[in-house]
Amino acid sequence: MSGYLLDTNAALIALAAPDRLSASARKAISAGTNVLSVISYWEVLLKSMKGNLDVGDPRAWWQDALDQLAARSLALRPEHVQMVYSLPPIHRDPFDRMLIAQAITEDLQFVTVDRELGRYSSTGLRVAR
């Protein structure tokens, strides 16, 4: 598989304020093939339920995000979970760790705004910021 796996924050910013993304992140997203993980859907749903994120109806956000970003959905698979075990303890956010594992397993470049995640390059993660 080839393309760009969008970090949840990168997807949210791309939808709401794309000018806040770096030029390289905007270029990657516009070049496609874009992928959104069901992990991002879960993260948006949970943060919305807690009142930490307002995307309107988070159930509708998912399909809107897929459509607006011309993205396809990536389901969680056992190989992704297994890869998390191999990741160094650089970052504690379980959503980010799973997205990183998916990007590595699926050989997708990871589009993120989080500079800390570039520290995973030793694991094979390719990052576009």
Residue spans of the domains in the chain: they are 4-74+109-114
How far is the C-alpha of 53 from the C-alpha of 73, rounded, in Å? Answer: 21
What's the predicted TM-score (pTM) here? 0.93
The label of the residue with tokens 């791309």 reads: 14
Give the pLDDT confidence score for residue 65 in this predicted structure. 97
Among the listed residues 9, 37, 42, 44, the one whose alpha carbon sits nearest the alpha carbon of residue 25: 9
81 to each of 27, 66, 67, 86, how far by Cα in Å?
29, 23, 27, 10
pLDDT in tens, the chain (129 residues): 679 999 999 999 999 999 999 998 999 999 879 999 999 999 999 999 999 999 999 999 999 999 999 999 999 999 999 999 999 989 889 999 999 999 999 999 999 999 888 888 888 899 987
